[in-house]
Structure 1
Amino acid sequence: MNTQIKFTSAEEAVKVIKSNDHVHLSSVASAPQCLIKAMCERGENREFEHVHIHHLHTEGPAPYSEPRFEGIFQLDSFFVGGNVRKNTQCGAADYIPVFLSETQKLYRSGVLPCNVAMIQVCPPDKHGYVSLGTSVDATLAAVECADTVIAVVNKYVPRAFGDAFIHVSDIDIFVEDDTPLMQGHITEPSEIECAIGRNCAELIEDGACLQMGIGAIPNAVLSQLGGHKNLGIHTEMFADGVLPLVESGVVNGANKAIDKGKMVSTFLMGSQKVYDFIDNNPGVAMMDVKYTNDPFIIAKNPKVTAINSALQIDITGQVCADSVGTVFYSGVGGQVDFMYGASRSEGGKAILAMPAATNKGISKIAPVLTSGAGVVTTRSHLHWIVTEYGAVNVYGKTLQERARLIISIAHPDHREELERAALERYGSHYHYIRKTMIL
């Protein structure tokens, strides 16, 4: 098949964007920076107005979110990354609360229009197929629904398998740019994070199917799993910490009920080693987020162990991972998808892991959530909670029992204060609970 395609410049490509359009950007490492730059240059020249930008977490500059573009661009993101957090917090940009599993539904259901999808892909194969590489997530849905698809063809985009393939006939405008993808690098975990990692690792059984994100705590957990057997991966994302476990045979997917032997993810962020690992690797399936994050699909695998983090937990078990008060975090993301999916899995474990206190010594376990805090995981969804001081399972416990359990893994400097708050909230019967519960 003749796969010759005609390239144009980024500046010419973004001329299709017009006032009031909705534009989707591919995610994380695949954010098409040359198109973003060209689009913002048009914005600076005031060639359009009220252009809505949508995306999940992206790496690299995001100038369209800046206050100077008020009335020209409106960022309404599905997930708030560090590059747009300040501008979202000050009101220059906004955020759509949505489960990660349903980001694709916003487009496919027509709740959000998609006039222009701006993506990155690998060069076409001899059959005319390109791969979305590190960003399938809601990007595939955007491609399906967009009036116009602009693709940056980049030799550094890995040729990923799964749902990542689209045909060149699905693309309207091609731009060539061989800028290497943004990379994320592992940071050394602190002593506290290592302690949390050990406590989480003790809950992970041989044959478990793991979900965990990127960051110091997931890496600390993964570093403790060298002695485990037959682990699997079904997650929204993974990073470098998984690779040594694959190389040693610890992660082999042998116990998975679906996608046996394969690692399943929907987007990636890591070093070049991660991108090289998924390139032409049929053992990795980069799937539509509708598949990776559907709780009922997640639950088909046995022993699903989901490890997620939080900003704050109150003593009843309400979990904040999304705050519009003094701190703006990342949004709902996939936490609820996987916490619920893991809890429905045979032998599954839904784990919420976090330090007991902030770097400034403020307790992350509170009598009540801070005003303005968004409840992401409800007390009804919460099972295991892990800090550096231990792990407790609050599933099936009364409010008073779970208060006692949660306080037991709080920072010691704050436990007395939390006990007083629990006593004030629940009355004298809490004394009985505190004395008789076996922790």
Structure 2
Amino acid sequence: MNYKEIYKSKIRTLQGALELIKSNDFIFTAQAASEPITLLHNLHIIREKGIRGCDLTNCFPVENYEFIKNPLYKDTICVNGWFYTAPLRKSHCNGNVSLVPQHAHSALKKRIFASERRRLVLLCTCSPMDKHGFLTLSLSSVYERELIDMGALVIAEVNSNFPRTFGDTTVHISEISALVETNYAVPSIPPASYTEVDKKIGEYIADLVENGSTLQLGIGKTPNAVANELKNKKYLGIHTEMFTDSMADLIECGAIDNSMKSLYKGKSIGCFAFGSERLYKFIDDNPSFIFKPASWANSPYVIGQNSKMVSINTSLEVDLTGQCASESIGAMQYSCTGGQADTAIGAQMSKGGKSIIALHSTIEITDNDGNKKLISKISPLLKEGTVISLSRNDVDYVVTEYGVAWLRGRSVKERVERLINIAHPSFRDELRYDAKEHMIW
């Protein structure tokens, strides 16, 4: 058969595709914007066929599916999240979801080991097939291509709205077991607008970034502010986990040209993309964007090969010794470590590299009586149950709107003073008192 005939032979109805899933399957879903939304909104119906005991691993889910939010489906699909978003946070309390603590570069290997030789299934989204019989995994290569290489059963949605991408995203039609044709818009998020506080943080961070640096940059208000302050830089490069709109902005203005990179000179390297429709159009059929698996792109040993690698991440809270709590509020899981430790450690392995943790000095909360209250995000002690995302042994720079604290190689006593100096002025005396009270020196 020619490629078009092979393609036609693999088209299934939605129900027909889901009938390929069996009890005890070990299922993975493509990440973020590449989630196969139609398949996942209907996945819960496999329970009606008597399917039980499936484990499903996802990462950065964008929609709240029935099998995630409804406790009825716990015995059919146990959800294990690599990175919590709102749907997983909401469903954690009803027992439908459990977190997989991990570093992005080693997570797949560890998760496969936990599969106990059960059948692997990948649910993904692909861009349309080309004349050579190849589709692409479009906006994510975090673990998808590696699962196919491991022999996973592949059930794919094919959607003409998804961009064609380069790197480790190509998949031949012969590797797909079943496909469902869909036509919805690619999941997107608009660039987050930022505040004056974010702008000030961005200015401090921009001062730390030298021309010719290679960047890892996240998503959100503060990273967007940082990107805006980098527009006057030159010869920057990208080696990141996530492609974002701010990176497209920096390429368009000429700040990023990837000309001085040590690895993949002239190319922007990442694992997945999530942003606006504009970003997807920018990436579509663009060979300067190369998608690589997290096992390679997030490996600290690979990241460290980039000259002047700068890792820029955010945190929810930092204690006076430098411990970064970036994923939980007390014992409540909020997100996950993701690639933070990978990139922070990798950047410090780089010649001339820097790892930067950015956060607002304060946050406004509502107390039990309903009153608004300002608290410091630099604290003497982390709350009971708080998860440490980046060890104090691995912290480098911490930045707030009040300045920069360089902690690498510093004693606890020095760290206390430097962090208090970038805390909100209203809390500095209290922090000094608490540091003395708890003998943090």
Q: TM-score range by the shorter chain?
A: over 0.9
Aligned match for 2:302, one of 287, 297, 302? 297
Equivalent residues of 1:29, 1:183 under 8 A apart: yes
Q: Does 1:411 align with 2:424?
A: yes
Q: What amino acid is the match of 1:354?
A: L
Q: Distance in 1 between matches of 2:388 and 2:115?
A: 23
1:91 positional shift: 3.1
Q: Distance in 1 between matches of 2:178 and 2:228?
A: 44
Q: Does 1:92 align with 2:92?
A: no
Q: Distance in 2 between matches of 1:27 and 1:165?
A: 16
Which shifted more, 282-291 or 13-22? 13-22
Equivalent residues of 1:53, 1:73 under 8 A apart: yes
Q: Distance in 2 between matches of 1:89 and 1:190?
A: 32
Q: Distance in 2 between matches of 1:114 and 1:232?
A: 40
Distance 1:162 1:93, change over 3 A: same
Q: What amino acid is the match of 2:438?
A: R
Scaled by the length of structure 2, the TM-score of the pair is 0.93
Aligned match for 1:259, one of 260, 264, 278? 264
Which residue number corresponds to residue 434 of structure 1? none
1:50 positional shift: 2.3
Distance 1:415 1:89, change over 3 A: farther
Q: How does 1:258-297 map to 2 (within 5 A)?
A: 258-297=263-302
1:114 positional shift: 5.1
Q: Does 1:200 align with 2:205?
A: yes
Aligned match for 1:402, one of 411, 415, 426? 415
Equivalent residues of 1:114, 1:142 under 8 A apart: no
SS at structure 1 position matched to 2:205: helix
Distance 1:323 1:386, change over 3 A: same
Which residue number corresponds to residue 37 of structure 2? 33
Q: What amino acid is the match of 2:26?
A: H
1:304 positional shift: 0.6
1:31 positional shift: 0.7
Q: Distance in 2 between matches of 1:341 and 1:411?
A: 30
1:64 positional shift: 1.6
Distance 1:51 1:172, change over 3 A: same
Deviations 1:118-152 (A, max 9, x none): 01111111111111111110122222235411011
Which residue number corresponds to residue 362 of structure 2? 357
Which residue number corresponds to residue 343 of structure 2? 338
Unaligned runs of 5+ in 1: 431-439
Which shifted more, 239-248 or 218-227? 239-248
SS at structure 2 position matched to 1:37: helix
Q: Distance in 1 between matches of 2:24 and 2:329?
A: 26
Q: What amino acid is the match of 2:358?
A: A
Which residue number corresponds to residue 333 of structure 2? 328
Deviations 1:299-320 (A, max 9, x none): 1111111001111111111111
Q: Distance in 2 between matches of 1:34 and 1:154?
A: 11
Q: Distance in 1 between matches of 2:105 and 2:93?
A: 24
Q: What amino acid is the match of 1:2?
A: N
Q: Does 1:52 align with 2:47?
A: no
Q: Does 1:3 align with 2:6?
A: no
Aligned residue pairs total 427
Q: What amino acid is the match of 1:49?
A: R
Q: How does 1:59-208 map to 2 (within 5 A)?
A: 59-66=62-69, 67-106=71-110, 113=118, 115-208=120-213
Q: Distance in 1 between matches of 2:75 and 2:122?
A: 21
Deviations 1:169-200 (A, max 9, x none): 11111111121110011121012111111111
1:115 positional shift: 2.5
1:110 positional shift: 6.3
Which residue number corresponds to residue 423 of structure 1? 436
Which residue number corresponds to residue 348 of structure 1? 353
Distance 1:9 1:106, change over 3 A: farther
Equivalent residues of 1:107, 1:141 under 8 A apart: no
Which residue number corresponds to residue 437 of structure 1? none
Distance 1:207 1:201, change over 3 A: same
1:292 positional shift: 0.9
Which shifted more, 386-395 or 193-202? 193-202
Scaled by the length of structure 1, the TM-score of the pair is 0.93
SS at structure 1 position matched to 2:273: coil
Which residue number corresponds to residue 400 of structure 2? 387
Deviations 1:184-231 (A, max 9, x none): 111210121111111111111111100011111110000111110000
Q: Distance in 2 between matches of 1:147 and 1:133?
A: 18
Unaligned runs of 5+ in 2: 366-373
SS at structure 2 position matched to 1:307: strand
SS at structure 1 position matched to 2:376: coil
Q: Distance in 2 between matches of 1:308 and 1:226?
A: 19
Q: What amino acid is the match of 1:32?
A: P
Q: Does 1:371 align with 2:384?
A: yes
Distance 1:89 1:312, change over 3 A: farther
Q: Does 1:12 align with 2:16?
A: yes
Q: Distance in 1 between matches of 2:54 and 2:398?
A: 42
Deviations 1:348-383 (A, max 9, x none): 110000111113322111111111111111011001
1:386 positional shift: 0.4
Q: What amino acid is the match of 2:51?
A: F
Equivalent residues of 1:108, 1:145 under 8 A apart: no
Q: Distance in 1 between matches of 2:100 and 2:111?
A: 13
Which shifted more, 228-237 or 98-107? 98-107
Q: Distance in 2 between matches of 1:62 and 1:402?
A: 44
SS at structure 1 position matched to 2:394: coil
What CA RMSD, in Å, does the superposition of the two structures yield over aligned residues?
Answer: 1.7
Q: Distance in 1 between matches of 2:111 and 2:133?
A: 25
1:108 positional shift: 5.6
Q: Distance in 1 between matches of 2:126 and 2:241?
A: 19
Q: Distance in 1 between matches of 2:115 and 2:342?
A: 20
SS at structure 2 position matched to 1:86: helix
1:46 positional shift: 6.2
SS at structure 1 position matched to 2:426: helix
Deviations 1:24-51 (A, max 9, x none): 11010111011112212333x3632222
Q: What amino acid is the match of 2:95?
A: G
